[in-house]
Every structure is written in structure tokens, then in C-alpha cells.
Amino acid sequence: MSSRVLVGVKRVIDYAVKIRVKPDRSGVVTDGVKHSMNPFCEIAVEEAVKLREKKLIKEVVVVSCGPQQVMETIRTALAMGADRGIHVEVTGKEYETLGPLQVSKIMAALAKKEEAKLVILGKQAIDDDCNQTGQMTAALLDWPQGTFASEVTIDGDKIKIVREIDGGLETIQINMPAVVTADLRLNTPRYATLPNIMKAKKKKIANVKPADLGVDLTSRIETVSVDDPPQRLAGVKVETVDDLVAKLKEAGNI
């Protein structure tokens, strides 16, 4: 099999960090805040590496869009087992407005350029929660898509995907080339330990500009404001059931 898999990864604020909104309400504080690979992207990389280990695909190429710092994320993916990386350089204002539409255009252009048979992405990013990039990429390429995948099986030129949907699991069969987005239960991503990171230093990361791919990055979306979620009111403790009923009557709930 000479097939290639393209995996998109995103550098986001680490999931365990407490998010703070900027005082001018234009966004969240990102300077000096710990960043790491989006958890769903980790699952996507793991799936691609697993497919290569099963010898179902030949090469895993990992892509990330953004400034210099995303190289770190690409290196983590290389340490997890990807073969080579592509850094699509997007900086400044363009990076701030970079959203699923722009990224999916980039992914589609790269999928064509790299002649990939499969594009695997995380289902959504934990910072913007868009859940759109995979779907848009499939639409731009006119490829079938298997989203929210919790199980992926390649059988010749077809892929069987078990999808996690409301109320259960749906099994579909789609043709390759295709786009798959990874859901939480797809696999257990391996940790990129220091020895693996050292070994990954030899792997290549190509630098590409969006203009080279012929992609227009203008955003159609403008962020108006970013606010904290409403504060949860403190609970009130009551002594007896009668007290509870009285309080609920007071609040007008019964």
C-alpha cells in the first residue's frame, strides 16, 4: 500500500489550565499560558500511527497551522510516531482569525498535493469547540466523511467506521479517499516520552506558506466579545424537608 495519511493537529491552551478572559473582552489570555496538542488531535495522531503499524498505510504526515510555536506540537506528533511534518506558517492577525474554514481549505489543498488517501482530524478543538474542520475539509475535497469515529477499520478500498451519535453507535462504510474525525473512545494516545522526542528530532518538518497552496485566509467571522460564563450562585443548605419545600415555594419553583 503506498497510501499516505494526513493528520491535522492544533496547538491549543492546555486542557487543565484555568482560562482567563482578557480585560478588554477581545479574547482569552494566551501569553505565558501552557499550550499543548488538542486532546482529540492526539487521538487522531495515535490512530494514524496505529494504521501504519498495522501496515494498512505507508506514511503519516502531520500538519499544523500557526506561528513558530506550533512546531512544538508537530514535534510531539512526530515523537508519537508520525513520519514527517508540515508547518503551515500563519502569524499575527491572520492567525487570530484562523478558523475551520481557512484550515479546511489548507487541509484540502495539502491532501491533494500530498496525494493522501485519508485525512484524520480531531473531532473538535477544546478552545473553539467548532467541530467543523473535518466536515468542511471533506466537502471541499468532495470526499466521504466518517465523523465522531470510535472505531476505524480499513478493508481494501473501503473504510468501516463506527460513529458515536446521540443515542448510540452507527456503523457506516465509506470509500477511500475519505476524511475521518476522531472521537474520545477511538484509542488511547501514547505519551511522547523524552527518548521518543529525541529520536523525532531527525524527522523533517517542511515549512509552507498558505499563499504557496493558493489559499485565501480572509475570515468571514468577527469576534465581537468574549465573556466569562455567568457565575454559579451558591447553594443553600436546608435542615428538613419542610424547609426545602418552603424554600422552593419561595423561589417559585413549585
Partner 1 sequence: MTNPLRGQVIRLYKTLLYLGRDYPQGFTFFRERLKTAFMKNKDVTDPEKIKKLLARGDFVIKEIEALYFLRKYRAMKKRYYDPENPQP
HSE-up (13 A, CA, CB side) for residue 159: 27
39 binds partner 1 (CB under 8 A): yes
Selected from 32, 194, 201, 237, the binder of partner 1 by CB under 8 A is 194
In the complex, what is the shortest distance from the CB of residue 38 to partner 1, in angstroms, rounded to a whole number? 10
Q: Which of residues 147-186 bind partner 1 (CB under 8 A)?
A: 164, 166-169, 184-185
- Closest distance of CB 9 from partner 1, Å: 15
Binding mask 68-107 for partner 1 (x = CB under 8 A): ----------------------------------------
Give me the least distance between CB of 33 and partner 1, in Å please.
14
- Residue from 15, 27, 171, 207 in contact with partner 1 (CB under 8 A): 15
* Alpha-carbon distances, residue 44 vs 5, 10, 41, 230 (angstroms): 11, 11, 5, 33
Contact by Cβ (8 Å): 229, 107? no
Least Cβ distance, residue 241 to partner 1 (angstroms) = 25
Q: Which residues of 71-100 are buried (b: 16+ CB within 10 A; e: fewer)?
A: bebbbbbbbbbbbebbbbbbeeebeebbbb
Nearer to partner 1, 18 or 204 (CB): 18
Number of residues that bind partner 1 (CB under 8 A): 19
Q: Is 29 helix (H, G, I), strand (E, B) or coil?
A: coil
For residue 149, give every residue at least 6 positions away whose Cβ sits within 8 Å of its Cβ, in sequence order, or none. 47, 161, 162, 163, 164, 180, 181, 182, 183, 186
- C-alpha grid cell, residue 154: 480499513
Residue from 18, 31, 142, 188 binding partner 1 (CB under 8 A): 188
For 110, half-sphere exposure in the C-beta direction (CA atoms, 13 angstrom radius) is: 31
Q: Indicate whether 232 belongs to the interface with partner 1 (CB under 8 A).
A: no
User: CB 14 → partner 1: shortest distance, Å?
Assistant: 8
Q: Work out how close the CB of 184 gets to partner 1 at its nearest, in angstroms, rounded to a whole number.
A: 5
Q: Measured between alpha carbons, how far is residue 89 from residues 63, 70, 200 in Å?
A: 11, 9, 20
The answer for residues whose C-beta is within 8 angstroms of residue 237's C-beta and 6 or more apart is none
Residues that bind partner 1 (CB under 8 A): 15-16, 39-40, 126, 164, 166-169, 184-185, 188-189, 191, 193-195, 197
